[in-house]
Structure 1
């Protein structure tokens, strides 16, 4: 790893799952609200945790309360993607701030936190990057853009600084604005400002930080769902099982990095201009970002699969520090001219122009081919995309961000 490279990004995501869910009535008498059944095999919290895991967090900490044993039994020790799940059960209701103080010894220096009964489809890495990059912000809030803030209470934003919170109002006409989306990037030291015992980060902490100019905010139009009411729980059952995410598929060599010939090690990697910005734009737009790359250098003995995977981890870490991420890397190490039998294959289904890697990604990540695009620098990339009904675009060098703007102006 280069000496000038740092890993400042948050690795931990905390989910608050301790509320009683009284508005759901008898439904939560024996089941915690985040564990409401959505399909035969999935509960609401599963959908949230998968969204956390795809953004590259290593640890998920669930802070449970009401019927906490049910949360513990289902999730403690579970793994979502590469994220390991742990569960803590608070001894009595402590509010959002009290729950974090209770878990203080288990919290990283930097972490994200969300409510377990809401799903806000945003780029979590953008929140973390803003908090890490700005010495001004001790916390950053995800803000939700709404056409009418009157029944919510709104947030006043000056650039990326939260300067105030406004109560619900009774104006005669709708007022467009932003409201608290319930996801936060925090520095653990902000817990010092909370009182002992039950407390609320929304009411006891954020107004103090806003007054001091220490609270950031990022507004988003991402899909939002709160299952706190019977009618919104019904929407979750109607929507979530059938959602398919659009994707931006990217070839690697020649699209993400300069293709200097068999790039398989970190020291050979150079970013294409605009590549990080392009990936961040796709993340912010709610697209999955999937890399699909032929890596014949493995078959030819120039480098190992371990080298490829180390390079991909390096790419991901650089993106985290940029407020971006790649959902998954798929690579094909097979080639007809391999130096060993293990990698020798005349026409492997994963090697582009064959669409095997793309097909696997569609199934494994619940992607929507007709809403997706692929960017490649070879005709074989475009052929692989066309084989599964995905629009392919040939990138012939230059600035990738400018190229994307020319073919994808509405994102």
Structure 2
């Protein structure tokens, strides 16, 4: 499972003029938040919990705002910042990873947002022909602003300058990188796009993955001005809320140990399908055993981490796990009694709706109890009672109906 994500945030943003005189480009606000925060959130929801920012221009601002541990989507995310002492270019910047790079890491441009399933993209299927870099590619009808690539099979063979073709495939700015690539960078400054990529392509070492999805680059004034409305629109999507025990995994009674995880038929496949559809996938689970003192919140979180590790092997993920630790007859005082977040109350669903851009009217909830259905109805979500069988088949039936 690839867990490290590196984001290039060192550019000067000269095309943005006065906007970046005192603020580094990735720190520019979009919908009230620095753009880089949106990229960190996007990586975190796909299960990347070790984030490295490679900063340059005004890097102190990035360091002050970003470095440290964040709690995102119910997970602890470690964010570190490396500030290059002098401009090294997009290729040279990677040399500062030599002491921290993991065997495989996700690499993202810090000034663009591509609606890509990052977990699926970072999964390497058995038997894949070796590569040093996997590149996300996007079809474009007009290449006047973008360079394009020549793709033969799954290999990028050449890079064409902007304006040389009516359309084609453009580099979307997201990569899966093998650590061995760092050994191919011999000098600074150098450019990934101008120096490293053409050399790798010449040796057949770049694998291309084509995805036709929304992309915006905030590096030019017109696109930066359009970003708030476009991102709000494209990030708003339906969700599928899954109850946990009895729907996704076998319920042995207060199941909480990672080694006790037994997936039910079609569960992992259903989650992967939700991911591929571009919908959010959430788990909302009553964990009254915490309120009864049988185990702690960290134990439940370890169980959820194991679930995401298993899912990652298939290129799938849960965006966020929500649990209610309350029990009406609990023995832990702070978790005893009823709570707005304990089903049949809708608190877990409505709390997620307050934090995520969810189209609740088109969303679904799968549960094995009437309390799940009551919570769904109270949250304005269509409830699907799942009392056994293949969960993916039930999902497909619900989507058809």
Counterpart of 2:313 in structure 1 is 321
Distance 1:198 1:371, change over 3 A: farther
Counterpart of 1:185 in structure 2 is 176
Contact 2:9 2:110 in 1 (8 A): yes
Task: For residue 31 of structure 1, give the secondary structure of its aligned residue in structure 2.
Answer: coil
1:219 Cα deviation (Å)? 2.5
Counterpart of 2:272 in structure 1 is 280
Distance 1:261 1:103, change over 3 A: closer
Counterpart of 2:35 in structure 1 is 44
1:133 Cα deviation (Å)? 7.3
* Larger mean Cα displacement after TM superposition, 77-86 or 48-57: 77-86
Matched, 1:125 2:119: yes
Contact 1:49 1:80 in 2 (8 A): no
Counterpart of 1:3 in structure 2 is none
Distance 1:392 1:105, change over 3 A: same
Q: Which residue of 224, 243, 251 corresponds with 1:233?
A: 224
Distance 1:307 1:44, change over 3 A: closer
Q: Which residue of 39, 44, 53 corresponds with 1:62?
A: 53
Distance 1:320 1:77, change over 3 A: same
Counterpart of 1:5 in structure 2 is none
Task: For residue 105 of structure 1, give the secondary structure of its aligned residue in structure 2.
Answer: coil
After superposition, give the CA deviation of every residue in 1:237-277 in whole Å (9 maximum; x if it has no partner): 33446753432211111221133443222232211232222
1:291 Cα deviation (Å)? 0.3
Q: 1:10-409 counterparts in 2 under 5 A? A: 10-39=2-31, 41-77=32-68, 79=70, 81=72, 82-130=76-124, 134=128, 136-149=130-143, 151-157=145-151, 160-168=154-162, 175=167, 177-240=168-231, 243-300=235-292, 303-338=295-330, 342-345=334-337, 347-408=338-399
Structure 1 stretches of 4+ with a deviation exceeding 6 A read none
Aligned partners of 2:311, 2:268: CA distance in 1, in Å? 7
Task: For residue 155 of structure 1, give the secondary structure of its aligned residue in structure 2.
Answer: strand
Contact 1:385 1:392 in 2 (8 A): yes
1:168 Cα deviation (Å)? 4.0
Aligned partners of 1:341, 1:186: CA distance in 2, in Å? 48
Distance 1:86 1:293, change over 3 A: same
Aligned partners of 1:203, 1:303: CA distance in 2, in Å? 54
Distance 1:229 1:304, change over 3 A: closer
RMSD over aligned Cα atoms: 2.8
- Aligned pair count? 397
Task: For residue 23 of structure 1, give the secondary structure of its aligned residue in structure 2.
Answer: helix
Contact 1:298 1:305 in 2 (8 A): yes
1:391 Cα deviation (Å)? 1.9
Aligned partners of 2:64, 2:296: CA distance in 1, in Å? 40
TM-score, structure 2 normalization:
0.88
1:76 Cα deviation (Å)? 2.9
Distance 1:278 1:203, change over 3 A: farther
Distance 1:338 1:399, change over 3 A: same
Distance 1:392 1:351, change over 3 A: same
TM-score, structure 1 normalization:
0.86
Distance 1:68 1:310, change over 3 A: closer
Contact 2:82 2:96 in 1 (8 A): no
Contact 2:143 2:164 in 1 (8 A): no
